[in-house]
Amino acid sequence: MKDGFIKVAAATPEVRVADCLWNGEQTIQLIEEAELQGIKVLVFPELGITGYTCGDLFLQDTLLNAAKKTMWKIAEATEGKDVFVFVGLPLEIKDKLYNVAAAIQNGELLGLIPKQYIPNHSEFFEGRHFAEGRAEVVDVFVDGQLVPFGQNLLFGCETAGITLAAEICEDLWAPVPPCSRHALAGANVIVNLSASNEVIGKAAYRRELAKNQSARLLSAYIFACAGEGESTTDLVFAGHNLIVENGTVLEESRFTTGLLVSEIDVQKLRSERRRIDSFAAAEREDYTEIIFSYPSMLDEVAETPLTRKIEKSPFVPADPALRQARAAEISMIQALGLKKRLQHTNCKSAVIGISGGLDSTLALLVTCKAFDLLNLPRTGIVSVTMPCFGTTDRTYNNAITLAKELGTTVREVSIKESVRKHFEDIGHDETKHDVTYENSQARERTQVLMDIANGCNGMVIGTGDLSELALGWATYNGDHMSMYGVNGSIPKTLVRYLVAYFAVEAKGTTLEKVLTDILDTPVSPELLPPEDGQISQKTEDLVGPYELHDFFLYYILRFGFAPKKVFRLAKYAFAGEYEDAVILHWLKTFYRRFFSQQFKRSCLPDGPKVGSVGVSPRGDLRMPSDACAGMWLAELEEM
């Protein structure tokens, strides 16, 4: 499958209790619908061929024979189709009755997975009818055909990159570590055929179980539940279906029938398993893997159309309430990191350069929080503003107001004359607004901060963020350097929401007003003279939109995706906002800068990690400074 996306579905057909023929027709109808949609893995509910609520009818030969006959009919209906199907039925094997999941593909019954944990508490008392399944795989005869039977069955397709495993309803509920009862760790897609009734609160419990199982096993999880048509003598079944990927719910439905469809990203799951060393230790070898292939030979090149949502800002929660909670947590992590460093060095003073921009604002807010945690007076925080050639009245005034409102000590050090003297010393023409012109200002500011810190026995707090570090958008030994960098693992798109969080906390105050204006100010290093009093140097005009770069950064570093896949995801996420050519241009820019600027990341100051992506050379990104970007850029040249 191209880019690792595989379309899957959980199916809840309407059933008639004990009417296998009718139920089989509904199942086949949904299989045909799934085939038309390009679905590759399709999961039906537990005992779906008969209906779950048959009670003592499960002991009737008529029902059992009809169920088995319907299973073969369903298998026949899959011949020549590209879909792998799991259906549930009661099946007698060696004089015992089992609740099984039948694995069917391209007209064949590939295996049978029995349910292990049979409840003795349910209103329909499965323990009265069904034997307990076992993990070990044995071959059994079903109507003269030899079929693998057991829980430790896996089904693998190399061209699609998937390995499938199945469990049935309460097997998920069981309080036994999953890898001790199954070789589930060997599968990257796990299906659950279920018939779970509805009572208040149970849906949330099921959802958390499925999320936890998929996260624990670094897998996708497809949960298909019985729904309309089951007996309502005492219970109601609502067809609660879920498609989950590594702890994240992709799609969910309740109180409906039909197909719940999404695409799982097998490449992402495999990337996670490569990245997490401890996962390999959980793998088991005591399973049987059946290799299969889809009838179509286009699996490796066919592009699966995506219906799943691709978030534009993967670092920022879309839900406002969750975003506020996440911001509170992140700012606390930042503050605790700084708190420890201040304690360890017995430092009671901090020095921070404030520009009226987002990054220095966040760093100052976090520093205040750390001082509060230490019960230190905020006057020990020296907020230094250093106006120069590019400083505007707006940013200057915001910086001064912010520092005063937070109760810090404000110092103003104009660096214009010292920079001019430096130009004179090195023979640089001040009218030549080149990289020397810009970086001389940045390095002078860092020198001022370091020397002020020496004077007050303080620590310089760095302001640079993750996005700038990824792009190398920092002056080496200028704003690149500090004694502790609180923003080093915060991407620019998240910095904005963290500042917004503090603004909400300060509602109705002057602090809220200044934070709001800072949020509205264009991102700029302000190293070039303003035009008509306005900022003339806008960072995103020069290096590209940060929302694009943060998107690229997330998928490149978090999952190691290839350039073509990153480009494809970006096109989906930003459809209607950026032309494809614009996305491609900035993606090439990202790769060029990311590789060429690694040397700046190789000597970063300490700072707290807050998320799953970081560039610290001490743990997150051990990358050679001289690595070539050629292969990555060559892949994009083909686009």
Share of the chain above pLDDT 70, in %: 93
Question: What is residue 423's predicted lDDT score, i.e. its pLDDT?
Answer: 93
Give the largest CA-CA distance in the chain.
100
Mean pLDDT for 416-438 is 94
> Sorting pLDDT into bands at 50, 70 and 90, what band is 397?
very high
Task: Check if 92 is active-site.
Answer: no
Would the pLDDT of 613 be above 90? yes
pLDDT at 160 over 50: yes
What confidence score (pLDDT) does residue 126 get?
65
Domains and CATH numbers, the chain: 2-291 (3.60.110.10), 320-637 (3.40.50.620)
pTM assigned to the model: 0.89
Average pLDDT over residues 320-337: 95
Q: Write the single-letter amino acid at 48.
A: G
- Token pair recorded at residue 34: 């799934």
Q: Which of 115, 211, 312, 492 is flagged as catalytic?
A: 115
Element holding 241 (H helix, E strand): strand 241-245
344-362: average pLDDT: 96
Q: One of 7, 20, 40, 46 is an active-site residue; which one?
A: 46
Is the pLDDT at 380 greater than 50, yes or no?
yes
Residue identified by tokens 């310089």 is 460
CB 68 within 8 A of CB 90: no
Tens of pLDDT, residue by residue over 134-153, are 888 999 999 999 999 999 99
Range in 268-272, 404-408, 468-472 the model is least confident about: 268-272
Burial grade of 111 (CB within 10 A; 0-12, 13-18, 19 or more): buried
Q: How confident is the model at residue 310 (pLDDT cuts 50, 70, 90)?
A: very high
Once rounded to an integer, what is the mean pLDDT over residues 571-597? Answer: 96
Between 576 and 619, the more confident residue is: 576
- Is residue 371 a contact partner of residue 336, using CB atoms and an 8 Å limit? no
Rounded CA gap, 151 and 138, in Å? 10
* pLDDT score recorded for residue 265: 96
Q: What is the pLDDT of residues 199-222, one digit of tens each?
A: 888 889 999 999 999 998 899 999
CB atoms within 10 A of CB 393: 12
SS (H, E, C) 93-133: ECCEEEEEEEEEECCEEEEEEECCCCCCCCCCCHHHCCCCC
Based on the residue annotation, tell me whether 169 is a catalytic residue of this protein: yes
End-to-end CA distance of the chain: 19
Whether 421 is a known active-site residue: answer: no
- Over range 85-98, report the average pLDDT: 96
User: Which among 169, 225, 368, 388 is annotated as catalytic?
Assistant: 169
The answer on pLDDT for 281 being more than 50 is no
Q: Give residue 123's pLDDT band: very low, low, confident or very high (50, 70, 90).
A: low
Look at residue 630 and give its three-state secondary structure.
helix
Span 99-108, mean pLDDT? 97
Burial-class residue 130 by CB neighbours within 10 Å (0-12, 13-18, 19+).
buried
Range of weakest confidence among 304-313, 448-457, 461-470 = 304-313
- The pLDDT, as a whole number, for residue 302 is 66
What average pLDDT does range 61-89 have in this prediction? 97
